[in-house]
A and B are shown apart, each in its own frame.
Chain A
Amino acid sequence: MNLETEYPIRTEKLSKKYIKSKFALNEVDIRIKSGKITGFLGVNGAGKTTTIKLLLGLLEPTSGKAYIFDEEVKSEKAWLKKYIGYLPEFPRFPGFLTPVELLKIYGEFYGMEKGELSNRVRELLNLVELSDVENKKIKTFSKGMMQRVGLASALLNSPPLYILDEPTSGLDLLGQQLVKNIIRDQNSQGKTVFMSSHLLKEVQEMCSDIILLHGGKVLWSGEIKELLSSNINTNVRLNVDRTDETVKLIKDLSFIKSFTVNGNMIDMVVESQDNIPEISTILVKNNIKIYEIKIETLNIENAVLNLLKGDESE
């Protein structure tokens, strides 16, 4: 056990095969950097939830290993969960309990002392804005409220690592903002966050790193800025006065992948944004008036889609 490790989460050729099905996870190697917020992306059925369950010891791997703070995950090592705050995608809690009762019982599972636990429960219910319903039974709660209870339960013993499965799912805009702020706040305290999400904009907004899982394999992993600046084509739209002449000038340029003409508009796909000054220089030299150059900034959605399409075409 090493809380100072560079990678609080690490897997080595982690695989999971369910009975009578193909591999849900196939030799996955991931490393989550300490103190960072890492997004875990993938289409439905990519293997995200399976990975998370393997990290928590809720499932046994078919082969390979998972490590939390350099300690190999085994179902019998329940004590490892003291160091993980987990929020499932669909948090479900016993409906006969109130949030106060539930959090106190969970706190006792962590071995927390009575006085400390009572204060922490009040503090957390305030934080997730459930203080006014603290004595109502959970069975009367909406999905969003359940999500807040789940978050409070994950934060209960202030662990150094959070594994959050779709943390803003089922929340309204204010709820989403609240959860994002809590995650950022925990990260600012040096906590590591590993969160799965299908909301790519949310991931771009919150995370510094991402792991993209597809078909049970890691398709891409690294920093988001690296993904966005990597060698992925850029879309450019030109509005010029003489399209025919423009086409003649640009058609043989090696960095132009394709183009289509639509009236005065030329839509091009170029290798990178760095090619645009060269295009404009050529056009200006040939007295072509440029009314507009519109660059479609590559966002994470396009980048991920390109990766997924690329993987499927292979």
Chain B
Amino acid sequence: MKVNDFKTFTKKLKALLKYDFYRNIRSLRIIIAFVLVLAIGIILAVLYGFVLKVNKSDIFIMSILYLGESNIVPLILGSLLTMDAISAEFEKGTFITTFSKPITRKFYYFGKSFSSFIYLLMEIFLLSLAAFIISFVFFGNQGKIDEAMIILSGSVLTIFFYATFTFALSAIFKNSIASFFITFGIWLALDIGVGLYSILYGYSLWTFLTPLVGETFIPIALADAYKNPNAIFKYTIFKTYNSGMTNINFSFLIVGVNILYIAILLIAGYIFFLKADIKEQ
């Protein structure tokens, strides 16, 4: 890529980021989702500290862990931000003017996914900051910021997965509400199904790698790998699952598989987006 081409590319990307900034900052839905998740974060920090009287040094970690571990939170946070990333343009008929400008579909699609990730990171950063400030104000210096950061990076991957899932559906179905509810419906069905199976027959490796279900284990796996990298990864709810892999290997597997899922989802969405007719309303 020539220097001028690169300058033009970054200028266009900045324009796309600016476009999404206005979209997000002026969207009541995103603000409500943000406030909701922020409220849950604060409530959890207070709950862990005052009601459950968790070890004070763990409060921040537990508050951060809820981001990735609780399933519904990453789904709300990720899906609400990306549900209309592509489909809104189809629904409102604005693509025809957007694509009369010198940008390709490839640039637009991947630029949009990049911008969604950037704004998700900003949201997660602000939420984490709020959880950190609350736990710091009430319970003093935590002294476990490194472990919290590891868990946070796992939560980010979990949220990115849900966001990408809805983002791809938004490009495939061209309908924002459908994208959100299909994500929600598949997640609910899989979560109940896999949950019941696990209760009856115990956990298997595929449980941890099932899309929309297994992502919730990423922060836990990373935390275990950070604390005891060479110990065997085990998980216990009702029955104990022994992976036979070290924590570090298991975390590599679960992270790698989810990065692969994200890539596959992005490409699938792109293929549909590339073939979609641009229509006027």
Contact bitstring B99-110, A, C-beta under 8 A = 1, else 0? 111111111000
Chain A: CB-nearest residue to B107:
A78
- Whether the Cβ atoms of B101 and A92 lie closer than 8 Å is no
- Whether the Cβ atoms of A105 and B104 lie closer than 8 Å is no
- Whether the Cβ atoms of A88 and B103 lie closer than 8 Å is no
- Whether the Cβ atoms of A81 and B280 lie closer than 8 Å is no
- Asked whether B26 is an interface residue with its Cβ less than 8 Å from the other chain, the reply is yes
Q: Which residues of chain A are near B7, meaning CB under 8 Å?
A: 111
Chain A: CB-nearest residue to B99:
A58
With beta carbons under 8 angstroms apart, the residue of A53, A78, A91 that contacts B102 is A78
Pick from A94-102, A121-129, A192-200, A260-268 the stretch touching chain B.
A94-102
- Asked whether B277 is an interface residue with its Cβ less than 8 Å from the other chain, the reply is yes
With beta carbons under 8 angstroms apart, the residue of A84, A86, A109 that contacts B15 is A109
- Asked whether A79 is an interface residue with its Cβ less than 8 Å from the other chain, the reply is yes
- Asked whether B23 is an interface residue with its Cβ less than 8 Å from the other chain, the reply is yes
- Whether the Cβ atoms of A94 and B94 lie closer than 8 Å is yes
Q: Which residues of chain A are near B22, meaning CB under 8 Å?
A: 94, 96-97, 101
Q: Taking each of B92, B99, B100, B281, which has the highest tally of chain A beta carbons within 10 Å of its own beta carbon?
A: B100
- Asked whether A12 is an interface residue with its Cβ less than 8 Å from the other chain, the reply is no
- Asked whether B153 is an interface residue with its Cβ less than 8 Å from the other chain, the reply is no
Question: Closest approach, in angstroms, between the C-beta of A273 and any C-beta of chain B?
Answer: 42
- Asked whether A11 is an interface residue with its Cβ less than 8 Å from the other chain, the reply is no
C-alpha spacing A90/B93, complex, angstroms = 9
- Whether the Cβ atoms of A88 and B100 lie closer than 8 Å is yes
With beta carbons under 8 angstroms apart, the residue of B19, B23, B97, B104 that contacts A78 is B104
Question: Closest approach, in angstroms, between the C-beta of B249 and any C-beta of chain A?
Answer: 42
Main secondary structure of the interface of B (DSSP, over half): helix
- Asked whether B12 is an interface residue with its Cβ less than 8 Å from the other chain, the reply is yes
With beta carbons under 8 angstroms apart, the residue of A82, A86, A88, A94 that contacts B19 is A94
- Asked whether B259 is an interface residue with its Cβ less than 8 Å from the other chain, the reply is no
- Whether the Cβ atoms of A75 and B105 lie closer than 8 Å is yes
- Whether the Cβ atoms of A88 and B101 lie closer than 8 Å is no
- Whether the Cβ atoms of B14 and A79 lie closer than 8 Å is no
With beta carbons under 8 angstroms apart, the residue of A76, A109, A150 that contacts B101 is A109
Chain B: CB-nearest residue to A137:
B26
- Whether the Cβ atoms of B103 and A58 lie closer than 8 Å is no
- Asked whether B144 is an interface residue with its Cβ less than 8 Å from the other chain, the reply is no
Q: Which residues of chain B are near A91, meaning CB under 8 Å?
A: 97
- Whether the Cβ atoms of A105 and B19 lie closer than 8 Å is yes
Question: Closest approach, in angstroms, between the C-beta of B3 and any C-beta of chain A?
Answer: 13
C-alpha spacing A97/B88, complex, angstroms = 14
Chain B: CB-nearest residue to A82:
B102
Question: Closest approach, in angstroms, between the C-beta of A249 and any C-beta of chain B?
Answer: 58
- Whether the Cβ atoms of A53 and B93 lie closer than 8 Å is no
- Whether the Cβ atoms of A94 and B92 lie closer than 8 Å is yes
Contact bitstring A44-82, B, C-beta under 8 A = 1, else 0? 000001000100101100000000000000011011111
Q: Which residues of chain A are near B11, meaning CB under 8 Å?
A: 108, 111
C-alpha spacing A53/B279, complex, angstroms = 9
- Asked whether A259 is an interface residue with its Cβ less than 8 Å from the other chain, the reply is no
Question: Closest approach, in angstroms, between the C-beta of A141 and any C-beta of chain B?
Answer: 13
- Asked whether B177 is an interface residue with its Cβ less than 8 Å from the other chain, the reply is no
- Asked whether B133 is an interface residue with its Cβ less than 8 Å from the other chain, the reply is no
- Whether the Cβ atoms of A59 and B277 lie closer than 8 Å is yes
- Asked whether A106 is an interface residue with its Cβ less than 8 Å from the other chain, the reply is yes
C-alpha spacing A185/B280, complex, angstroms = 28
- Whether the Cβ atoms of B94 and A108 lie closer than 8 Å is no
C-alpha spacing A109/B7, complex, angstroms = 11
- Asked whether A110 is an interface residue with its Cβ less than 8 Å from the other chain, the reply is yes
Q: Which residues of chain B are near A255, meaning CB under 8 Å?
A: none
Question: Closest approach, in angstroms, between the C-beta of B132 and any C-beta of chain A?
Answer: 31
- Asked whether B228 is an interface residue with its Cβ less than 8 Å from the other chain, the reply is no
- Whether the Cβ atoms of A88 and B96 lie closer than 8 Å is yes
- Whether the Cβ atoms of A58 and B278 lie closer than 8 Å is yes
Residues 1-30 (chain B) with a chain A CB within 8 angstroms = 7-8, 11-12, 14-15, 18-19, 22-23, 26-27
- Whether the Cβ atoms of A105 and B18 lie closer than 8 Å is yes
C-alpha spacing A101/B19, complex, angstroms = 8
Q: Which residues of chain A are near B18, meaning CB under 8 Å?
A: 101, 105, 108
With beta carbons under 8 angstroms apart, the residue of B15, B92, B99, B104 that contacts A95 is B92
- Whether the Cβ atoms of A88 and B280 lie closer than 8 Å is yes
Question: Closest approach, in angstroms, between the C-beta of A25 and any C-beta of chain B?
Answer: 14
Known: A49-B280, A59-B277, A108-B14. A96 touches B102 (CB 8 A): no
- Asked whether A168 is an interface residue with its Cβ less than 8 Å from the other chain, the reply is no
Question: Closest approach, in angstroms, between the C-beta of A98 and any C-beta of chain B?
Answer: 9
Complex A-B: 12 CB contacts under 8 Å: A75-B105, A78-B102, A81-B100, A92-B97, A92-B280, A95-B92, A97-B19, A101-B22, A108-B12, A109-B12, A111-B7, A153-B97
Using A58-B99, A94-B88 as known contacts, list a sample of 15 further A-B pairs with CB atoms less than 8 Å apart, ordered by residue number in A: A59-B277, A78-B103, A81-B100, A88-B96, A91-B97, A92-B93, A92-B94, A92-B97, A92-B281, A93-B94, A96-B27, A108-B18, A109-B15, A111-B8, A111-B11
Q: Which 6 A-B pairs have the closest CB atoms?
A: A108-B15, A86-B100, A92-B93, A109-B101, A96-B26, A111-B8
